[in-house]
Amino acid sequence: MITFDENTKVFHLSNNQISYLMSVEEGNLLAHLYFGKRVGHYSGERLNPRFDRSFSGNLPGSLDRTYSKDTLLQEWSGNNTGDYRAPAVIIRDENGARQTDFRFQSYKIIDGKPELKNLPHAYVEDDSEAQTLIVNLLNENLACEVELSYSIYNDRPIIARSAKLINKGRHILHIEKIASMQIDFPKSDFQVISLPGAHARERQIERQTLHHGLTQFESRRGTSSHHMNPFIALIHPSTTEFNDEAIGIQLVYSGNHQETLERDYIDQTRVLAGINQYDFDWKLRAGDSFQTPEALIVYSSSGLNVSQTYHRLLRERVARGKYQFAQRPIVINNWEATFFDFDTEKIQKILDNAAPLGIEMFVLDDGWFGHRDDDNSSLGDWFEHATKLRGGLKALSQQVHDRKMKFGLWFEPEMISEDSELYKKHPDYALQVPGRGMTPSRGQYVLDFSRKEVVDNIFNQMTKILDNVDIDYVKWDMNRHLTEVYSTELPADRQGEVSHRYVLGVYDLAQRITSRYPDILFEGCSGGGGRFDAGMLYYFPQSWTSDNTDAVARLKIQYGSSLSYPVSSMTAHVSVSPNQQTGRQTSFEMRGDVAMAAVFGYELNLADLSDKEKEIVKSQIKFYKKHRQLIQYGDFIRLKSPFDGNQTAWEFVSPDKKELLLYRYKLISQAQPEFTLTKLAALDPDKIYLADDKKRYAGDELMNIGLYDTPIQLADWTSRVDYFQAEN
């Protein structure tokens, strides 16, 4: 899978789907040659063409004006040495210089894929599953070495990349920027897809043409954020869901990230992804090393179904633990039913109604701890609210389990309230700049998780609850972003490390908690989808996709999320109408059909439902249980985008192509409605599929001729779900 030609100095990483080529060129510079569809043989055509470019400098000591870093397609660019494009790395020397110049030194090829210490990453279950190339580049003047890691799986069109910087000198270095990956592409008509958004409007698909200069996507909020997900896709104007090329780049990281694209003056494109250089300054002592997060780079020759590779990889080789492939339970969460205003009687009413309907888990949300009756107190005090529930959590857990349901509990481990016992004892535990004001958000501050003793304190508090109460599920929330990113325990010249050390602290707590309680299902959350990324998926197999439970808004949120994340990672609940986030009124059926296209649950007061609505709930739960395996672990395929028109359509297809569910949604009704068709995809063309109404369709008929979207419903916000099963 990985070869190196000693004569041509060309590395070739390949499997039956992709090839990745790079070479060691003049001056021991590591050059990028090609990434795309598999090639069996490479003859050398992609070597850097020679041409004298005005104002592009040449290598030290060279008189050859036709060879310049400024135009060379590279794998790892330095700074301030003749390449004027955005660099992969900036290092400040003890004399203040920021000149970096890395040259090829050595390489090794190993079986398997090494783990990244203290960082989430894609993994292998057996060393025969992948190979890894580690290329060593040396910056001789700084006595600094970088290990570039490239892992390729046997049967996945993906390259996993990361970088490890090692200080082999005697002096302290400061890393001001370090990317996880870089690829330089020759002239191409690239567009880029990104996933911007906001709280309650996450992962909205945006497609734009790359123009000359920089195009940059980033988060500076301390998390991956609602506002810009750490995923981009390089495409062409002709790329669709099923046609032409697409290259996905996803960072396995949950903090400040940065994806930079630069189209230079001869239309070459540089792509960088990694930790955001904003406020980043890592002090690297002699002998120490710094490991970047991993970037997952996927190639597709069949359009944006690059998603299928990500879905399988994240589900099979990033997510871990007991629930990685387990059917996820149907949840009722009390938050939108009661908010903070709950007591034993109100919870009992929810439980009394939940079990007969077939709901499998009750989750007690915010407000059970400290003296918390609103969002202005008690974060950091993970002990039971003394007066809210008779018998406390133990009694409630027993009552839930007596009803043959599972019991879940909400935590927000990374936060602290000024009105809390923890803050009174340790005000220094909050992120803050001494002598300056602190910025409250949602009435709370952020704990300094760059400090081990702070993480240990929260770990010990959480384990006292989890050791003593029978809990099946934990919802891990985070409801604000970072400000005053400063640690009172670090010296001035290390404050640029705090934001990354914070993320490492989160990973440390998540690793310790999930390892100690392997039978608990953990769900991530950050005001909904504010930390919905591959890094958190490594610890939590599912996340609350958005605080917005409006079915119409969720079409875009879930559609956008599916570009890079599997359905098994996305939770979705039926809530009340009018919706509490948008005020929109939708039918119970529409709400159910959207929520059931994910990990399903409810977030409303079941006691307020009419008998007719309860029957609908029973029917929805029965349907979901019947098709849960197909929905959560089948192939999810997008057919019509809510970003492009009045309709949305997607389907779930079983791996053996014997079952499929087709979901179709219409937004706004209109007079003289048009007749539209939906063509399915990814079926077996030779199979005969039997629909719910007993009609028989050939697979190629469903894919090429399609189905009319009938009967037409003269109403807004309508949906239809059809199940097909192969006869043979």
Rounded (5°) CA angle 604-609-612: 135
Could you identify the residue written with the tokens 């046609």? 243
Give the CA distances from residue 237 to residues 184, 241, 242, 392, in Å, rounded to whole numbers and listed in that order. Answer: 19, 12, 13, 59
Strand order across the beta sheet in which 29-37 lies: 2-5, 10-14, 18-25, 29-37
Compute the distance between CA of residue 565 and CA of residue 568 in angstroms, rounded to an integer: 8
Q: Burial, 582: exposed, middle or buried (Cβ in 10 Å; 0-12, 13-18, 19+)?
A: middle
Q: Which helix H or strand E contains 571, and what residues bound it?
A: strand 570-574
Q: What's the token pair of residue 181?
A: 């990956």
Q: Which helix H or strand E contains 514, and what residues bound it?
A: helix 498-516
**709 included as an active-site residue:** no
Pairing type for strands 257-263 and 677-678 reads unpaired
**Amino acid in position 653:** V
64: number of Cβ within 10 Å = 12
- 699 SS3 class: helix
Q: Which helix H or strand E contains 693, and what residues bound it?
A: none
Q: Burial, 578: exposed, middle or buried (Cβ in 10 Å; 0-12, 13-18, 19+)?
A: exposed
Pairing type for strands 158-167 and 294-300 reads antiparallel
Compute the distance between CA of residue 620 and CA of residue 45 in angstroms, rounded to an integer: 58
Give the CA distances from residue 696 to residues 88, 690, 692, 727, in Å, rounded to whole numbers and listed in that order. Answer: 56, 5, 10, 9
Phi, psi for residue 478 in degrees, rounded to 5: -155, 110
Q: What's the token pair of residue 221?
A: 């909020």
Contact 689, 724 (CB under 8 A): yes
Q: Which of 264, 366, 381, 477 is catalytic?
A: 477
Compute the distance between CA of residue 285 and CA of residue 231 in angstroms, rounded to an integer: 32
Compute the distance between CA of residue 557 and CA of residue 575 in angstroms, rounded to an integer: 16
Q: Which of 472, 547, 550, 593 is catalytic?
A: 547
**267 included as an active-site residue:** no
Contact 264, 85 (CB under 8 A): yes
Q: What's 656's DSSP letter? A: T
b/e string for 543-576 if b means 16 or more Cβ within 10 A? bbbbbbbbbbbbbbbbbbbbbbbbbbbbbbbbbb
**Amino acid in position 650:** W
- What positions carry a catalytic annotation? 477, 547
